[in-house]
Chain A
Amino acid sequence: MTGVATLIRQPWLWAWVGALVVWLATAVFTGGKGSGEVLSAAMTFGAFFVIVALGQMFVITLGPGNVDLSIPACMTLAGTVAMKSMDGASAMIPVGLLLALVIGAGVGTLNYSLIRLLRIPPIIATLSSSFIFQSAAIWWNRGLRVKPPEALADFTTAKIAGVPVIALFVVVLAILGHVLLTRTIYGRGVVAIGQNMRAAHLAGVKVERIRAATYIMCATLAGLCGYLLAAFSGGAALNMGEEYLLSSIAVVVIGGTSVAGGFANVPGLWGASLFLFLLVTMLNTFGAGAGVRLVLTGLIIIGVIVAASGGKART
């Protein structure tokens, strides 16, 4: 039974098991009523988590100290600028998308420049730059809530046979991310750098080029997520990225990627995203108050991380 043994050792398994257990617990509680709708909502909201977590995963895999804290600010800036420029006109949809991506790439470039040229630790660099981007978003938006073009909003809420289109789109994106991680020189380089940066350099890995590409990619994905999320929720809001700061990191870690770097996987991102959403839904269904909900969320996340790392800690 080597197949089963290999499956059990997969780092992403626990996130998926967790998601399934939580979903079943909810279904049992409600007697199966609305379980399909819950799953569909989980796929939509999970998709947004996965977009940012994909970028965050590559950054965290670069090794200790690497993390992008500017994701929420980047999402907000890209969302507000794109919504305002499109101003509800369907013809402007591609222009808005391009703007969001360019803003993301710009944010990433600035982050990396701070890290590289001024030698600021990534955690400080991305945190301080996020104040700049957040302020820029406030200045640009002036509190207005501009409605997204109808066609775009329809795309983000459309479903095929009950499955959200956006989830399908992000599944494709995740597959591309998986291939990028496992089958390209870039992906191998990221994993090598995360294990030992000096050794990676001495083995011929283009360390700085790869770090730059990773921070730019992470911010570009945040820009994309901001664009889609603003369209989904009927316009950009200044706090729209808030919950994506910690959840982008939580999804990466629950998904079985090593916080210490050098070890990552993509399937776990989807499992962890579904798990996080379904967990909150379950606690809501059980009628838990906000305080209890947060405490239980924290405890359960800790439990999953311990279960997922249990096999490795002993070796």
Chain B
Amino acid sequence: MNETVPIVLLDGVEKSFGAVRALTGVTLELRAGECLGLVGHNGAGKSTLMNVLSGNLAADTGRIEVAGADITGRLTPQNAAAHGVRCVYQELSLCPNLTVAENARILHPSIAGIGWRGAARRLIGEKLDEVFPGHGISTDDIVGDLSIARRQMVEIARAFAVTTAEARVVILDEPTSSLDAVAAKKLLDHVRHYVKTGGTCVLISHLLGEILGTSDRIAVMRDGGVVALDRASAFDRNSLVKAMGSVADAEQDRSAESVAIRDTAPVVVQAMPKTVETIALAAHKGEVVGLAGLSGQGQTELLVRVFDHASGTKVAGEVALVAGDRQTDGIFPLWSIAENIAIGSLRQFLKGIFLDHAAARRFADGWRGRIGIRTPDIDQPILSLSGGNQQKALFARALGSTAKIIVMDDPMRGVDIGTKQEVYGMIREEAAKGRTFLWYTTEMDELRNCDHVYVFREGAIVADLRRRDMTEERVLHASFRSDA
């Protein structure tokens, strides 16, 4: 491997979508044997840049070289793959109606002939075992039946798998947003192992700890350009946040208030997972209740039961839901941003028996401002937004509704740190006005914003922690069986 020639060179790459300038002249090189961390706010251009590199979008101007060969203008997803560029997209790209092994075959055309199925099973199975030991996925599972975390694992393992097609550059766009802490750790360890053996990795994440701990170099993007690029050791959390252009809030101690709510406010939600031995969950008016644990331990199921007012739950009033798996549970792909926001509150726009579309649009536009959705026009299709901004629209849909109880299904996937702080603030504000939140999250930082935390394991609630008793250690301890 020639050390002086970068494996990928992007030179002055620009890309516009109508009036939106997504990339404003990005120059960046990737070297063999390094992990480049890429951070920036939602809509800063990270995903667009990676889509250009993987051949999904054609750059308007600029030069792209892979391994010294100028392939500007000839870059297609197939061509990029032939040059060893692999991408794990933020919006997963597996075919839901095929099995894990069949999905692996799609990316590896060299697996062919009699026995291809067995070869595909071995390829993806071995990679899954290598990256995520103890993953619990069968290579014959239909992808659509897997949880979002497991789908993510399959997608990642597929990108790292090598047949005659090499994996020279692997792009990971928010790979850990759907994974719990344990699986994320396994992945990041694998990334380090992979770059040590000469591979190149681009890691996009909003979790700055991951970026700082895994990358060799870090590039910070803002408004479509790279604004800072240096060795990872030259950055710390604060300098990264500053370069991205937002201010990290100091954490406040709220444990005293939390106790007061538990002791005085009425109970508005009572629910219990459908397992034999479990603690019951209770949420009081104005409380932010966290549902913790590893991903896929029954948290989502409980939230949906509360949303449905299912038998066995006691729920006082209307419930709105913020989806985390936004493609499956949240977005209406044919609608505009405004329509996607207003669908949760249609009753508010009734004039007699007819809907007042102008009022609905004003309402959505108001939320665009409040929650900072990056778009010049809310009549644009929802799919024109970056993943994080779509998520903001889903927040706006739920917060804008009249529901007094809001359940959130790991809602911060792909949301940047600045927006997270704003949304945390909004949640606190709404809770202070008497709204109740049930918040499933796999991130420790988010649990610190909760008044009370229940830890889930294998479909049951196994720990009931007050805010002042909650520590990362206790949550993790409860998340694993004592005999495992």
Using CB atoms and an 8 Å cutoff, list the residues of chain A in contact with chain B: 179, 183-185, 188, 191-192, 195-196, 198-200, 202-205, 258, 262-263
Partner of B401, one of A192, A195, A199, A204: A204
Contact mask B327-343 → A, CB, 8 Å, 1/0? 01111111100000001
Cβ A199 vs Cβ B330 within 8 A: yes
Least CB distance from B392 to A in Å reads: 16
Cα-based distance from A175 to B357 in the complex (angstroms): 18
Using CB atoms and an 8 Å cutoff, list the residues of chain B in contact with chain A: 304, 307, 320-321, 323, 328-335, 343-344, 346-347, 350, 353-355, 357, 397, 401, 403
Cβ A202 vs Cβ B329 within 8 A: yes
Cα-based distance from A198 to B329 in the complex (angstroms): 6
Cα-based distance from A179 to B355 in the complex (angstroms): 10
Residues on the B chain within 8 Å of A258, using CB: 334
Cα-based distance from A200 to B323 in the complex (angstroms): 11
Partner of B329, one of A185, A192, A199: A199
Residues on the A chain within 8 Å of B333, using CB: 195-196
- Which of A185, A200, A262 lies at the interface centre, i.e. has the most chain B CB atoms within 10 A of its CB? A185
Cβ B328 vs Cβ A199 within 8 A: yes
Cβ B332 vs Cβ A262 within 8 A: yes
Residues on the A chain within 8 Å of B343, using CB: 188, 192, 200, 203-205
Cα-based distance from A262 to B340 in the complex (angstroms): 13
Given pairs A183-B355, A184-B354, A185-B346, 5 additional interface contacts (CB within 8 A):
A192-B332, A192-B343, A196-B333, A202-B321, A204-B344
Least CB distance from A4 to B in Å reads: 19
Closest to B328 in A: A198
Residues on the B chain within 8 Å of A188, using CB: 343, 346, 355
- Which of B307, B331, B334, B357 lies at the interface centre, i.e. has the most chain A CB atoms within 10 A of its CB? B334
Cα-based distance from A199 to B355 in the complex (angstroms): 21
Residues on the A chain within 8 Å of B330, using CB: 199, 202-203
Cβ B332 vs Cβ A195 within 8 A: yes
Given A198-B328, A202-B329, A262-B332: A185 and B347 interface contact (C-beta under 8 Å)? yes
Cα-based distance from A263 to B329 in the complex (angstroms): 19
Cα-based distance from A192 to B343 in the complex (angstroms): 8
Residues on the B chain within 8 Å of A205, using CB: 343
Of the A-B pairs whose beta carbons lie under 8 Å apart in the complex, a sample of 11, sorted by A's number, is A183-B355, A184-B353, A191-B334, A192-B332, A195-B335, A196-B331, A199-B329, A200-B343, A202-B329, A204-B320, A204-B401
Residues on the B chain within 8 Å of A196, using CB: 328, 331-333
Residues on the B chain within 8 Å of A198, using CB: 328-329
Least CB distance from A187 to B in Å reads: 8
Closest 6 A-B residue pairs measured CB to CB?
A195-B332, A183-B354, A202-B321, A185-B346, A203-B343, A262-B334
Least CB distance from B335 to A in Å reads: 7
Given A198-B329, A202-B323, A203-B343: A184 and B355 interface contact (C-beta under 8 Å)? yes
Residues on the A chain within 8 Å of B347, using CB: 185
Cβ A199 vs Cβ B332 within 8 A: yes
Least CB distance from A314 to B in Å reads: 14
Cα-based distance from A179 to B352 in the complex (angstroms): 13
Least CB distance from B73 to A in Å reads: 19
Least CB distance from B253 to A in Å reads: 34
Cα-based distance from A257 to B335 in the complex (angstroms): 15
Closest to B321 in A: A202
Closest to B319 in A: A204
Cα-based distance from A287 to B170 in the complex (angstroms): 64
Cβ B355 vs Cβ A203 within 8 A: no
Partner of A199, one of B331, B350, B354: B331
Cβ A185 vs Cβ B332 within 8 A: no
Residues on the B chain within 8 Å of A203, using CB: 321, 330, 343-344, 397
Least CB distance from A203 to B in Å reads: 5
Residues on the B chain within 8 Å of A199, using CB: 323, 328-332
Least CB distance from B206 to A in Å reads: 24
- Which of B320, B343, B347, B355 lies at the interface centre, i.e. has the most chain A CB atoms within 10 A of its CB? B343
Residues on the A chain within 8 Å of B355, using CB: 183-185, 188
Residues on the A chain within 8 Å of B335, using CB: 191-192, 195
Cα-based distance from A262 to B381 in the complex (angstroms): 14
Least CB distance from A155 to B in Å reads: 29
- Which of A179, A202, A262 lies at the interface centre, i.e. has the most chain B CB atoms within 10 A of its CB? A202
Residues on the B chain within 8 Å of A192, using CB: 332, 335, 343
Closest to A260 in B: B334
Residues on the A chain within 8 Å of B320, using CB: 204
Cα-based distance from A200 to B353 in the complex (angstroms): 21
Partner of A195, one of B323, B334, B350, B403: B334
Cα-based distance from A199 to B335 in the complex (angstroms): 13
Closest to A179 in B: B354
Closest to B318 in A: A204
Cα-based distance from A263 to B334 in the complex (angstroms): 8
Least CB distance from A210 to B in Å reads: 12
Least CB distance from A61 to B in Å reads: 11
Least CB distance from B21 to A in Å reads: 20
Least CB distance from B467 to A in Å reads: 28
Cα-based distance from A195 to B334 in the complex (angstroms): 7
Cα-based distance from A199 to B403 in the complex (angstroms): 17
- Which of B304, B331, B332 lies at the interface centre, i.e. has the most chain A CB atoms within 10 A of its CB? B332
Residues on the A chain within 8 Å of B321, using CB: 202-203
Cα-based distance from A185 to B347 in the complex (angstroms): 8
